[in-house]
Amino acid sequence: MIVTRLIMLAFLFCLTACEKEELHFKEGDMEITVLPGEQWLHDFPLFLGLKQKNTPQFAIWIEDISGNYLTTIFVTHKIATEGWIFNKGNRRKETLPHWCHQRGVVYEDGLLLPTKKQPLADGITGATPQGRKTIQVALKSIEKPFVVKAEFNHSIDFNSNFPVDAVEGAENYSGGEMGSGQPAVVYAAIIYPDTREASLQPIGHSSPDGTDGSIYENLDKLTTARDIVQNIKITIW
Amino acid sequence: MVRFIVVICIAIFTQNSIAQTRSAASLQFALDHIEVGLEHNLVGERVVGHLFAGIANQNLPGVFRNYTFRIGAAYTAYGDSQNQICVNGGLGVYFFKHEQEVNAVPMSDIGVRYSHTLKRLPKHGGLVQISYRCGRARYKQQFSSDVLDIFTMSDFRVTPLHIAIGYLFKF
């Protein structure tokens, strides 16, 4: 009897878990859709020659038209919760330096990255999706125009301009062997009061080693990093 | 290679060593999962039923805030007085917790376990479990602040490859 009840309970849990929830947009809502590019998945070596396909780290946030940070919309889990495994204490400040500096929150260790003790709220974090990601934003008191920005990066995404053996302190140093390789790419779009659709455009790359929050406009030295994301589309309902 | 694996499997599954009749409790450790289990012979000497409960930390490394329950069965493919190799599988629920709610994710698993009991202390032993687990859910997240509300759909997937080591106590 007890076993039967347990099986029925398990069945009910399974049914509950299979319930479909979807996003329902209202007039004035902003829909942000991230479409993965050809380089969305990137080989990351594990051990004994085994590799795993890693997804990129990214953040999406809003700034006012003067470039002042207003609020974060989404950040991938590893950055938002210090969720790295086997990072040997390396906080990977080169991952999304522009978002970190714009946000400007300094943590216990003096870095601008959220920690395990002080992670970002669950509602704006999540594992990097394997495919398309859609976010619904209901704007309450943010006045248009404003700027939506996004920053994308893969770790160990080295190329000949940002090599693994770059010397610390050099302008192409990106954190060493387990560093970023090619720096994060920053995208932006201005949302005006009459904007209905927009696509974020690349405006530059971040500091390769994460030491500053500047945007470096020349993207010529980047190769695969430019194809991590295909499109970041904004629709105003 | 395939032939070699087939031959090995046939050799293991057709050997005649007698598996031990047993009840046992286990404690298993994986990087993102700690599990206690109970097992007992169900049918004959080779088929064992098992029940597991555990805590897991998959969505926030180091913070064990998820819960798991599994039931299943194991077939003892090879067994002697000290060593056993079991093929096992089961069904369960992974309770994935985040700030706003707990999501129940159905999961299934199939795997192989090697256990070894000590010669001097035959009730005590160690085990290595390798499993492939399936389980995923799509869930809605919400964040509210003074300036905006954010809604997003997120995906949760139980880590497929599960490798655990553990302690086995037979009684």
Select from B98, B105, B146 the Cβ nearest to the Cβ of A141: B146
Any idea which residue has 């005590």 for tokens? B124
More confident residue, B13 or A235: A235
Residues in chain B with CB shorter than 8 Å from the CB of A71 are 145, 147-148
A58 vs B171: CA distance, rounded Å: 51
Q: What's the whole-number average pLDDT of chain A?
A: 85
Any idea which residue has 């799509």 for tokens? B138
Average pLDDT value for residue range A127-137 = 80
Cβ neighbors of A25 (< 8 A, separation 6 or more) are A31, A136, A237
Residues in chain B with CB shorter than 8 Å from the CB of A21 are 138-140, 153
How far is B105 from chain A, CA to nearest CA, in Å? 6
Whether A103 shows a pLDDT value over 60: the answer reads yes
Banded pLDDT at B16 (limits 50, 70, 90): very low
Banded pLDDT at B12 (limits 50, 70, 90): very low
Residues in chain A with CB shorter than 8 Å from the CB of B156 are 127
pLDDT of B14? 46
How far is B152 from chain A, CA to nearest CA, in Å? 5
Cα B71 to Cα A1, A4, A75, A112, B33: the distances in Å are 16, 13, 36, 44, 16
Select from A10, A81, A140 the Cβ nearest to the Cβ of B146: A140
CA-based nearest residue in chain B for residue A84: B61
How far is A114 from chain B, CA to nearest CA, in Å? 13
pLDDT of A5? 60
Question: What is the value of ipTM here, to two decimals?
Answer: 0.77
> Per the CB < 8 Å rule, is A17 touching B105?
yes
Q: Which of residues 142-161 of B touch A (CB under 8 A)?
A: 142-157
B33 vs B67: CA distance, rounded Å: 9
Banded pLDDT at A22 (limits 50, 70, 90): confident
Banded pLDDT at A21 (limits 50, 70, 90): low
pLDDT in tens, A69-97: 999 999 988 888 877 766 677 788 889 99
A174 vs A210: CA distance, rounded Å: 8
Any idea which residue has 């400040």 for tokens? A93
Cβ neighbors of B58 (< 8 A, separation 6 or more) are B32, B33, B66, B96, B158, B159
A113-127, B106-120, B134-148, B154-168, range with greatest mean pLDDT: B106-120
Cβ neighbors of A151 (< 8 A, separation 6 or more) are A58, A59, A96, A98, A99, A184, A185, A186, A187, A206
pLDDT in tens, A175-229: 888 888 999 999 999 999 999 999 999 999 999 998 999 999 999 999 999 999 9
pTM reported for the whole predicted model: 0.69
DSSP for A103-137, written as a single string: H----TTS-SS--SSSPPPGGGEEPPPSS-EEEEE
Contact status, residue B169 vs residue B26, Cβ threshold 8 Å: yes
| Domains defined along chain B, listed by start | 23-170 (2.40.160.70)
Q: Which two tokens stand for residue B118?
A: 């000590």
pLDDT in tens, B48-93: 899 999 999 876 656 788 899 999 999 988 888 889 999 999 999 9
Interface mutation vs chain B, best among A5, A9, A14, most B CBs within 10 Å: A14
How far is B137 from chain A, CA to nearest CA, in Å? 7
Length of chain A: 237
> Per the CB < 8 Å rule, is A124 touching B143?
yes
B134 touches chain A (CB under 8 A): no
